[in-house]
Amino acid sequence: MSQNCMTNILPQRTPEAMTVDHVVPASTEESVLKEELLLEETLEQQILTFPVYQHFIDSFQKFTSTNTKTLDVVERLYPNLTGATLSGPHKIAYRSQTLYFIDDYHFQFNEITNPDDRDNYSITFLQLGDALSGHKGIVHGGLLATLLDELTCRVGFLNFESKRGVTANLNVNYKQPTKVDSWVCIKCTVFKKIGRKCWVKGDVYLIDETKKFLEDCELLTSCEVLIIEPKWVDQLKH
């Protein structure tokens, strides 16, 4: 959730009389919450009209009819940087449920030395607001790197038996600027896993509201990430 902001002019009070309730009235909290919920509902309705979104929803239903283990994945987004601090109106205004297309074969934690036809990727849709800019009107590259780091790790971790790990190397290539107030889709694909190391490719696409297939949308940013499952993995709590 975004931080609450004071929208009403308050009467003058002495410092001794000031309290948290005075600074952020309950009525203001309720008003901001209603505004955020309304925005989320509006964006929810908007994403449902995108052919590419519907394509992945349909594909996910078909995929999970034969690969059921991916349905057991539990997301832990709150509280964290992208799930809380950077979430809200004008920031990450909408974040879809991540769809994991991971073949049951990969939940046996097999090594991957060559790409094959067994799916091992994730899909996430996001609406990025104008408070995430670096240069005016352009989403900050560090924000895109953060999202790519997080989302590639989430799918990469699922290929480790512990389901935990850390980023060892993140290499990002910015191909086109990402404009604020844009809908994007981030696809993260595991292409190699050897022992405690896992390599994942991440791609940020600009959603074209007329396209059904992601490959027909404009590629904005891409990355490759090396993830490791450290020997001290049991110390990782999240």
Q: With residue 89 as reference, give the H or E element that holds it.
A: none
Distances (CA, A) of 166 to 169, 189, 215, 221: 9, 17, 29, 22
What's the pLDDT band for 14 if we cut at 50, 70, 90? very low
Express each pLDDT in 131-166 by its tens digit: 999 999 999 999 999 999 999 999 999 999 999 999
Mean pLDDT (the chain) is 88
Both tokens assigned to 90: 């004008």
Rounded CA gap, 152 and 227, in Å? 9
Q: Burial level of 126, CB count in 10 A (0-12/13-18/19+)?
A: buried
Least confident of 39-43, 48-52, 75-79, 211-215: 75-79
Please enumerate in sequence order all residues whose Cβ is within 8 A of that of 12, keeping only pairs 6 or more positions apart, or say none: none
| pTM (predicted TM-score) | 0.84
Express each pLDDT in 185-231 by its tens digit: 999 999 999 999 999 999 999 999 999 999 999 999 999 999 999 99
Looking at the DSSP bridge assignments, the partners of residue 100 are: 122
Rounded CA gap, 226 and 171, in Å? 9
Q: Which CATH number fits domain 51-235: 2.40.160.60, 3.40.50.1820, 3.40.50.720, 3.10.129.10?
A: 3.10.129.10
**pLDDT score, position 40:** 85
Can you tell me the mean pLDDT for 94-108?
96
